[in-house]
């Protein structure tokens, strides 16, 4: 038995979808512990591309048990659309996918409030996807949430919806200047969702307990990245859940002592979507080159990602917070055509040097990154599957990354396909 957790070590979009897909070959259960349909994991299988928002990437392998934990907020319409899209590509979902009864629902008013609140922030926009994730988590913590289990009890759902709509419609009308939501419309819509989802909704705590008791191999999948964690990220420009390893225990109901290994995923450079500090951001030709070569556009929104050099301070922070021992480095091939490559090894602010991540937004916005310059390899690494075949300068770059973030590199992705992966033996690069 083993329990592995895959977490993002940057601001999300690190390529976790592919890494989970690759590692799921040897797993029995693949579970998602937080986030909502604001996350997008892209997996490429030969000529097919799958973009998964709620369903764990393990669904693409036959006979795997896939769990959506109670730490996830679920938009039932989005979940049903995702199920249908997979089934249209002959991927078996029913019998393999299970969603926690305790997972909270994203309601129509959550989406409206999310979008309108962002508009009202003006220049202070956080950069949310507008899919209602933050307001859904707000209601969860305020003990006003409606859960998947409530879809199976029409009377209880009706009671909760009546109470919530009384408050939300007052807010929509008197604060946002928007029309009321119809109780009858929302009620009918969500009862329909419940009927269609009833075969997927179950006690996933019991499933996890059974799997652990049977000594089955479990792979746990995070959404977003450590720097978007509501506690450990660049607050307030973060997501509304615990995207670091701490969210695993609350989001799936397993004890920390059960976790055997945490694998961090980081790009060979850095990207960020939305607002907030980004110390190594490049707004010049190099930044555009990274975006074009890496196809850096959001899987969920299509928004162009901000791009910059690898930030070792960020990943070092993620290594510490998550207890990462092994790193998967993705998109190494994107750097193939650069003459010079830079690694941010620290920050300078008002004469002071930082090797650790400061939490103050003002510091993060005004600091100066300190770079180590390395020579580019100017050779093709796309599709390589052997470490020995990497150019020497690419090996030097990876070694420097490993040394700076104080974690071993055990896997290198050289392209989107499953086969375009280098597995390092023993302890990897360190």
Nearest to 405 by CA among 338, 323, 329, 317: 317
Following DSSP, what letter does each residue of 106-161 receive, concatenated? PPHHHHHHHHHHHHHHGGG-----SSSHHHHHHHHHTT---BGGGGG-HHHHHHHH
Active site residue 180: no
**Could you tell me the two tokens for 139?**
């209601």
| Residue 49 contacts residue 306 (beta carbons within 8 Å) | no
Q: Catalytic one among 13, 114, 150, 333?
A: 13
Q: What length does the chain have? A: 430
How many angstroms from the chain centroid is the CA of residue 1?
25
Helix (H, G, I), strand (E, B) or coil at 221: strand
Q: Catalytic one among 21, 28, 41, 232?
A: 41
**Could you tell me the two tokens for 240?**
């509304």
Nearest to 211 by CA among 88, 329, 65, 68: 65
- Backbone torsions φ then ψ of 85, nearest 5 degrees: -65, -40
- Please, how many CA atoms are within 13 Å of residue 64, restricted to the half-sphere of its CB? 26
| Residue 100 contacts residue 69 (beta carbons within 8 Å) | yes
| Residue 73 contacts residue 137 (beta carbons within 8 Å) | yes
Residue 224 makes CB contacts below 8 A (sequence gap 6+) with: 8, 11, 12, 35, 38, 39, 239, 241, 243
Cα–Cα distance between 126 and 292 in angstroms, integer?
Answer: 25
| Residue 398 contacts residue 329 (beta carbons within 8 Å) | yes
How many angstroms from the chain centroid is the CA of residue 91?
22
Find where tokens 């307001």 sit. Answer: 135
Helix (H, G, I), strand (E, B) or coil at 354: strand
DSSP-H helix ranges across 30-100: 76-88
Active site residue 70: no
**Looking at the annotation, which residues are catalytic?**
13, 41
């Amino acid at each position: 038995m083993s329990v592995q957790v895959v977490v993002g070590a940057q601001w999300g979009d690190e390529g976790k979808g592919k890494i989970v897909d690759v590692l799921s070959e040897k797993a029995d259960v693949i579970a998602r512990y937080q986030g909502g349909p604001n996350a997008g994991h892209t997996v490429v299988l030969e000529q097919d591309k799958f973009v998964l928002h709620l369903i764990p990437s393990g669904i693409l392998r036959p006979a795997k048990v896939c769990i959506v934990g109670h730490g996830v907020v679920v938009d039932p319409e989005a979940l049903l659309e995702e199920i249908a899209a997979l089934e249209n590509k002959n991927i078996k979902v029913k019998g393999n996918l299970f969603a926690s009864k305790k997972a909270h629902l994203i309601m129509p008013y959550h989406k409206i409030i999310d979008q309108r609140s962002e508009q009202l922030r003006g220049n202070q926009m956080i950069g949310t996807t507008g899919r209602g994730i933050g307001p859904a988590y707000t209601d969860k913590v305020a003990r006003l949430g409606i859960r998947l289990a409530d879809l199976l009890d029409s009377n209880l759902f009706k009671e909760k919806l009546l109470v919530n709509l009384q408050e939300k419609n007052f807010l929509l009308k008197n604060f946002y200047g928007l029309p009321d939501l119809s109780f009858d419309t929302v009620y009918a819509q969500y009862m329909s969702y419940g009927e269609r989802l009833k075969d997927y909704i179950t006690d996933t705590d019991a499933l996890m307990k059974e799997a652990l008791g049977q000594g089955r191999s479990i792979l746990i999948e995070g959404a977003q990245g450590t720097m978007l964690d509501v506690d450990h990220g660049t607050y307030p420009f973060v997501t509304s859940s615990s995207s670091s390893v701490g969210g695993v225990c609350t989001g799936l109901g397993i004890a920390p002592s059960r976790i055997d290994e945490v694998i961090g995923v980081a790009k060979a450079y850095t990207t960020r979507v939305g607002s907030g500090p980004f110390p190594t951001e490049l707004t010049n030709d190099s930044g555009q080159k990274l975006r074009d070569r890496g196809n850096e556009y959001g899987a969920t929104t299509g928004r162009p990602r901000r791009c910059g050099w690898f930030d070792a301070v960020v990943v070092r922070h993620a290594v510490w917070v998550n207890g990462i021992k092994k790193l998967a480095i993705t998109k190494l091939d994107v750097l193939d055509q650069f003459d010079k490559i830079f690694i941010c090894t620290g920050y300078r602010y008002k004469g002071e040097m930082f090797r650790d991540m400061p939490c103050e937004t003002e510091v993060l916005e005004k600091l100066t990154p300190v770079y180590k310059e390395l020579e580019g390899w100017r050779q093709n690494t796309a599709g390589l599957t052997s470490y020995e075949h990497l150019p020497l300068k690419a090996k030097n770059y990876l070694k420097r990354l490993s040394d700076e973030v104080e974690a071993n590199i055990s896997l290198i992705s050289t392209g989107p396909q499953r086969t375009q992966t280098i597995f390092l033996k023993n302890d990897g690069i360190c």
